Amino acid sequence: MAGRISPSFGGTTRRSVLAGTTAALAAVLTGCGSETRGSRPLVTGDKPEGKDVIDVVADCGAKGDGRTDDSEAFAHAYSQAAERVWDHVGRTVIDVPAGTYLIRSPHALLDAPGGKLKANGLRFRGAGKRMAQLLFAPDKADNAYLCRNEDSWANVMFEQLGFVSGTPGASFFYSYSTGQAQDYRFTECEWTGEWTYGLALDGSNTNSEMRWDACRVGGAYRKAFLYSGLSQKSHDQLQQDQFLNYWFNDMKVEYDWGNFLEFPYGGSITCRGGSYIVTGSRPEDTDDYGRTSTFFRFPRGPHHDSVQRFHAEDIRFEVRDPDTVVIDCAWDSGTVHFNDCDDTAHAFKSFAADTSPHRYRIGSRGPLVRYDSCQLSGQHSYEQDGDGAGPKARYDMCRLRNHSQQDFIKGAGDRVTFVDSLEP
């Protein structure tokens, strides 16, 4: 079965970071007005010079005509934002007016290498999806990212922007963290073109609290739109266990091929609302994935006992061919829950009865699997991992479109319970 081994194996703890943040907040709250105990000022240093809002066209000379290389203009805008960090807090909004901006230089949009900067707050504000588009076309695609944040920025926002891969196999965002990079938010953004990674997360701590609202994920992905646990710089794989809290709300996930989410090191993931569709198929077989494209691919990587939790709710999936997989999960513990989801749009087609769009490898500790009020096509596959009885899977008030309860489960059917479910 596909999705059983992660293909990309290759400090400070989260608890200590949170403890330090809590202590700092408590210290602030003990004071009133502009001073804390001992008359120590809350904010040190001087307010930086420069504009609070930088326009990449008016202030930095970007053309936005889709032909002129605007890399220097965007690099200048980011440099100004980085220079205006005051007391570890960002003070600048980068505005991107309507237009198509050709960017050939990697890291031109955000370039924070090596953890040299510790800052909180960076905002990129566009004119709207399809109105403000960043066309990333580096000379070489390998290891070319439009953004990199290495243990530097927290609270980074992207609003109403489109990102296009003009060089097939380029990547959008590399984020490495041992405790600093976290809290990213994408609102009404869009990705198109052929990418290797959308966001590639690396490191031993944090890289957490990330949210996507009303975004469209299009294009194609040689690896995944969001890959958690790249292992390029973090060589201690066991430490990659702090990928927590990712929210996808009201999404339009409609891409050609590839994986949407890939989490070999666990994580806490919630997807609510929207449509999820794979419109095509991989152009060729791959060693890691074969021909399959998977929305939620959770292979098993070596790591400490971490959170492994996935929840999908109110989502309409389309399984257009046998190579489209909704979930392929081999986590060794945790929970998987689908609530009020529907993948039966193509259940009437001749191939549907023989598909297995939901696949699990179940061990003695899980994951626990539950489906509530879902409409489901094909068969669900359960592979037993090891000897002895493992956790149960449960289907409550679900509608099975192609098979009876007896034939719906492939593999370890003795671990599955149906409650008030409908057969064809």
List average pLDDT for each run of 10 residues in the chain, which is 424 residues long: 48 44 44 48 78 97 98 98 94 97 98 92 96 98 97 97 98 93 96 98 84 98 93 64 86 98 91 98 94 95 78 98 96 94 97 96 88 98 78 93 95 85 94
Q: What pLDDT does residue 364 have? A: 80
The first and second tokens of residue 336, run together, are: 């998987």
pTM of the full structure? 0.89
Q: What pLDDT does residue 39 have? A: 58
Q: What pLDDT does residue 366 have? A: 80
In angstroms, rounded to a whole number, what is the distance separating the alpha carbons of residues 277 and 326?
Answer: 10
Q: What pLDDT does residue 385 have? A: 81
In angstroms, rounded to a whole number, what is the distance separating the alpha carbons of residues 242 and 220?
Answer: 27
In angstroms, rounded to a whole number, what is the distance separating the alpha carbons of residues 3 and 289?
Answer: 7
In angstroms, rounded to a whole number, what is the distance separating the alpha carbons of residues 282 and 321?
Answer: 12
HSE toward the beta carbon, residue 326, CA cutoff 13 A = 31
Q: What pLDDT does residue 232 have? A: 64
In angstroms, rounded to a whole number, what is the distance separating the alpha carbons of residues 205 and 388?
Answer: 34
Residues contacting 15, CB < 8 A, separation 6+ = none
Surface-to-core class of residue 152, CB atoms within 10 Å of its CB (0-12 exposed, 13-18 middle, 19+ buried): buried
In angstroms, rounded to a whole number, what is the distance separating the alpha carbons of residues 171 and 182?
Answer: 19
Strand-strand pairing, 162-178 and 145-150: parallel
| R_g over Cα of the chain | 23
Q: What pLDDT does residue 265 have? A: 83
